[in-house]
């Protein structure tokens, strides 16, 4: 029994009678009813007047969300033509009948293509050659037709190339069903399996699949099940994770097809289990038992395993061990730990290893020849870019597929011959219209933060702007979970850049941009570094005369929405407008409620507020708990009704409380997608509508 209590005062919620007046741009915002809920912990009592918005079964909650949507539509009605223009120009930049770079696997070339006007992808393959007849594996447009939301989670092809298994989400809450397809007849075979987690792989017998499953209440990925479609009526559990801090239990097959692999993950630790792919009814065997703060990944190779691990190596090192001796005491070092270089990923080939590293915030690809012992790095020339290992399913090839992009270079796929060192362009994202990368410029700075630490900052703009302190500028950051904010090409952002905006990325602490220490310095009891870094980057951009507070905007989503909320509580005058997408803003209340999806798994990221010290620290920055009477900037807040990662009520409560405390004239908007979850709309053009709304919000506030 938890040592805190909730005292609810249950009253019928109500909304004010002043609803929006559609179309005229003048309306009274919906005012949510206030009903006191007392939240008591560690002798501290918090009053939450909007706790009632959690009850999705209450029709007044849905009415309130719809009223907010209507208010937004009314107040932004004067931007309707701008939104339509933005939508059309973003759509016109897309090569609508595009297809991905094909990759070769087990006798077939696989690729994904789109048709003109279609919202969803079509998964295809051709046998032996791209000149062979096309076989359509999945036309997601047909599958999605009866649903307002549709997303394919993952898929796998049996080793005999006869069967396909895939997962589908029709709500947006990451609750998948498992579906089989007979590729010889084209018939779909529903399995009746629901609450799957998205991962699904074939065993080597071609009739047994393994998949992960989620708890229907907490939505924690906590089980692995086996399903033999020739013999079983029901899926059988083979792994059940009892530790609630282990939030994601996934399943995959090794690149050499020898092993099925279960990976149980928590924030700080993980544990891998292996099974011979040819013996699917046998028992999984642990590779290395879990230890606190031990993380590792394994790759099967020619009778041994490569192990990428943080064992006695904060930034990870590469080890190897024999198949019969997988315990940590048998691991032998291949690449040593370095304090200034993070080892991120590995790709194994018959004669080569490719190591993805992060050095001074930028990724490097390191090629090791396992025959000659020689090594070299690929060369990248731009001051800020993103390079990463691509799709490489074949092990017996000397060709590495990798991807490259930057703020000015569209997404590009290359094949690199590791023996001859020749690079071949496979595909570059096509930007329709008169786009030219040379029209734009990227710069990278090290911003000295208030505690003396240098924070990387990357900016891009259209050449010709003047540094007169009067440019509209959008500053983005995330800063949590060790997720690095890499500079990537954003085709939609051209609509801002071509209208005079500067776009900037603050690589704040909490990400992993400068290694594992960078992450650890922006979490738990150091979380406020994330917020301070962002503010310091904003002030740098002002001091360098790129912009000014009347033309400075900010955007962050999910945990980046927490960043937005904390920053505007601390320095609201610094920004003209802020976009907070599906923001995690009610930190303490959420982290005290174990029934909310993912809560228990987040203790190592945010802290456990059942501990008094963590409670006090989290309470000191929680955006919802620190709202006060002051002028806030213009705000556009988004939510997804079916969001499983940040529940819809967090942004809804936050907006309701903001209206209570906001003393200025700035607009506060809430948009809830009533048919989607954390990622928004599932169709590619549907998503553009949401982007157009955000851009219109910014441009309306930054006229030239």
Which positions are catalytic? Answer: 558, 643, 678
Query: How many Å apart are CA 298 and CA 501, to the nearest integer?
Result: 44
Task: Considering only CA atoms, give the Rg of the chain.
Answer: 26
Strand extents, DSSP E, 395-485:
399-405, 412-417, 422-428, 440-448, 454-462, 473-476
Q: How far is CA 653 from CA 15, 31, 57, 139, 278, in A?
A: 14, 11, 16, 39, 52
Cβ 333 vs Cβ 316: under 8 Å: no
Those residues whose C-beta lies under 8 Å from the C-beta of residue 145, and which sit 6 or more positions away, are: none
Strand extents, DSSP E, 203-258:
208-214, 221-228, 236-240, 248-253
Facing residues of 362 across strands? 359
- CA dihedral for 287, 288, 292, 296, sign (positive or negative): negative
Query: How many Å apart are CA 431 and CA 493, to the nearest integer?
Result: 12
Query: How many Å apart are CA 22 and CA 77, to the nearest integer?
Result: 8
Query: How many Å apart are CA 469 and CA 185, to the nearest integer?
Result: 64
Name the residue among 632, 619, 486, 505 with its Cα closest to residue 556: 505
Cβ 99 vs Cβ 115: under 8 Å: no
Strand, helix or coil for residue 491: helix
Query: How many Å apart are CA 443 and CA 408, to the nearest integer?
Result: 11
């Amino acid at each position: 029994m938890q040592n805190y209590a909730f005292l609810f005062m249950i009253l019928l919620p109500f909304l004010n009678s002043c609803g929006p007046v559609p179309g005229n741009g003048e309306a009274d915002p919906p005012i949510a009813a206030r009903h006191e809920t007392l939240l008591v912990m560690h002798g501290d009592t918090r009053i939450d007047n909007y706790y009632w918005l959690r009850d999705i079964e209450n029709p007044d909650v849905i009415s309130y969300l719809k009223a907010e949507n209507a208010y937004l539509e009314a107040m932004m009605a004067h931007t309707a033509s701008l939104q339509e223009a933005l939508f059309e120009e973003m759509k016109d930049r897309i090569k609508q009948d595009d297809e991905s770079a094909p990759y070769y696997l087990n006798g077939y070339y696989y690729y994904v293509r789109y048709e003109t006007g279609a919202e969803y992808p079509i998964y295809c393959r051709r046998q032996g050659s791209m000149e062979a007849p096309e076989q359509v594996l999945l036309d997601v447009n047909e599958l999605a037709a009866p649903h307002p939301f549709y997303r394919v989670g993952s898929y796998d092809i049996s080793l005999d190339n006869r069967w396909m298994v895939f997962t589908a989400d029709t709500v947006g809450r990451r609750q998948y069903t498992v579906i089989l397809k007979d590729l010889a007849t084209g018939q779909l075979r529903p399995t009746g399996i629901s609450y799957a987690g998205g991962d699904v792989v074939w065993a080597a017998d071609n009739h047994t699949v393994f998949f992960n499953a989620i708890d229907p209440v907490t939505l924690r990925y906590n089980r692995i099940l086996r399903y033999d479609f020739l013999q079983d009526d029901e899926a059988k559990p083979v792994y059940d994770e009892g530790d609630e801090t282990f939030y994601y239990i996934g399943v995959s097959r090794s690149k050499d097809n020898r092993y099925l692999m279960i990976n149980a993950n928590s924030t700080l630790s993980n544990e891998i289990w292996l099974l011979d792919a040819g013996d699917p009814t046998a028992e999984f065997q642990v590779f290395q038992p879990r230890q606190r703060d031990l993380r590792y990944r394994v790759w099967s190779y020619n009778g041994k395993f490569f192990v990428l691990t943080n064992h006695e190596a904060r930034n990870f090192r590469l080890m190897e061990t024999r198949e019969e001796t997988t315990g940590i005491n048998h691991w032998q070092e291949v690449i040593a730990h370095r304090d200034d270089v993070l080892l991120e990923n590995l790709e194994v080939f018959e004669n080569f290893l490719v190591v993805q590293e992060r050095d001074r915030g930028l990724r490097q690809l390191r090629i090791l020849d396992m025959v000659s012992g020689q090594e070299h790095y690929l060369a990248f020339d731009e001051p800020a870019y993103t390079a990463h290992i691509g799709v490489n399913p074949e092990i017996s090839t000397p060709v590495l597929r990798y991807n490259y992009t930057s703020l000015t270079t569209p997404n590009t796929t290359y094949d690199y011959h590791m023996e001859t060192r020749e690079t071949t362009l496979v595909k570059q994202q096509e930007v329709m219209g008169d786009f030219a990368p040379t029209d734009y410029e990227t710069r990278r700075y090290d911003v000295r933060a208030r505690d003396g630490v240098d924070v990387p900052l990357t900016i891009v703009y259209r050449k010709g702007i003047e540094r007169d302190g009067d440019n509209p500028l959008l500053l983005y950051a995330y800063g949590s979970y060790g997720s690095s904010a890499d500079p990537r090409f954003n085709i939609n952002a051209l609509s801002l850049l071509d209208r005079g905006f500067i776009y900037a990325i603050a690589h704040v602490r909490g990400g992993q941009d400068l290694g594992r220490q960078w992450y650890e310095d922006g979490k738990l009891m150091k979380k406020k570094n994330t917020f301070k870094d962002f503010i310091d980057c904003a002030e740098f951009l002002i001091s360098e005369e790129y912009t000014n507070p009347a033309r400075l905007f900010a955007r962050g989503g999910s945990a980046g929405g927490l960043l937005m909320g904390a920053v505007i509580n601390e320095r609201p005058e610094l920004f003209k407008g802020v976009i907070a997408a599906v923001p995690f803003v009610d930190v303490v209340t959420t982290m005290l409620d174990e029934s909310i999806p993912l809560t228990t798994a987040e203790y190592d990221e945010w802290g456990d507020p059942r501990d008094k010290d963590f409670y006090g620290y989290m309470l000191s920055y929680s955006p919802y708990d620190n709202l006060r009477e002051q002028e806030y900037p213009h705000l556009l807040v988004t939510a997804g009704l079916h969001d499983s990662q940040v529940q819809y009520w967090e942004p809804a409560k936050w907006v309701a409380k903001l209206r209570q405390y906001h003393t200025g004239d700035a607009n506060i908007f809430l948009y809830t997608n009533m048919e989607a979850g954390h990622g928004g709309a599932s169709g590619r053009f549907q998503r553009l509508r949401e982007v157009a709304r955000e851009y219109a919000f910014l441009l309306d506030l930054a006229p030239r």
